[in-house]
Amino acid sequence: MGFTDTRFNVNLSILFTELPLLERPAAARAVGFTAVELWWPWVDAPTPERSELDALGDALRDAGTQLTGLNFYAGRLPGSDRGALSVPGVESERFRANVPVAIAFAASLGCTTFNALYGNRVEGATPEEQDALALENLAFAARAVGEVDGTLLIEALNAPESPACPIVSAPKAIEVVDAVNAATGLDNARFLMDLYHLSMNGEDLAEVIDRYTPKTAHVQIADNPGRGAPGTGTLPLEELLGRLKKAGYDGYVGLEYKPGEGPSTESFAWLPAALRAAH
């Protein structure tokens, strides 16, 4: 149990980035993957032109790939400005403007899972003010996602790489999940368990899996150190995914790792081709 019992998808915002956005779905399909996820692709445009949305939708359909997860607008990723929903002013407004656009786009492709990155602490606002705004915006997003019977994900990042982000542990992310569900009464907020980020925080991954799998709706992986493919670091990822399965998790596991110096197609040698298609 482990890799053989796992449904994988590929994050096209960190893998295949040597290709233009519209060529990535076909490249993923060419090496066997049928399910993909994305960060919000238009880092400077929370509400892009309809033609851009249509072109990406067509590329996903034409490739035969299913979109299974989408981030709401969060600024430029990866980068120090990640997150928008807890930042007062223009960024908060951009996040809210993006929510209905992202939901309509994803839902048209059969995707109803959305990740809302919390955002960094910023000057000019107290942590309490930011947290209140974040809860307000997350509740807004959860209600909108609820209209398509979807799921809102809350992710913990890692303190070494995102020192200004206040959500850098599994317990803190779960605290936010619970607060959103209490605010809306919808119970559609869930934990995004990124094993790379949690390992960078020094958390006990086995304990996190055993304790928080019931509140988890998506998992992402990369090895540590280096954020590379499984086998490039020291994390026992196959064992951990087997533990997740035993704990009751049967959703997708997102491949959100850096491919290294070669093309992305060379970074999947660890996973037999027969295990790449959604099953």
Bridge partners of 64? none
CB atoms near residue 47 (< 10 Å) = 14
Straight-line distance from the first to the last Cα atom of the chain, in angstroms, rounded to the nearest whole number: 15
Cβ distance 34 to 64 under 8 Å? Answer: yes
Which of these is catalytic: 91, 256, 261, 266? 256
Q: Residue 220 in 3-state DSSP?
A: strand
Which one, of 234, 244, 261, lies nearest residue 208 by Cα?
A: 244
128, 155, 207, 266: the catalytic one is 155
DSSP letter at 9 equals E
Q: For the purposes of burial, counting CB atoms within 10 Å of the CB of 131, is it exposed (0-12), middle (13-18) or buried (19 or more)?
A: middle
User: Active-site residue 256, yes or no?
Assistant: yes
Catalytic residues: 155, 256
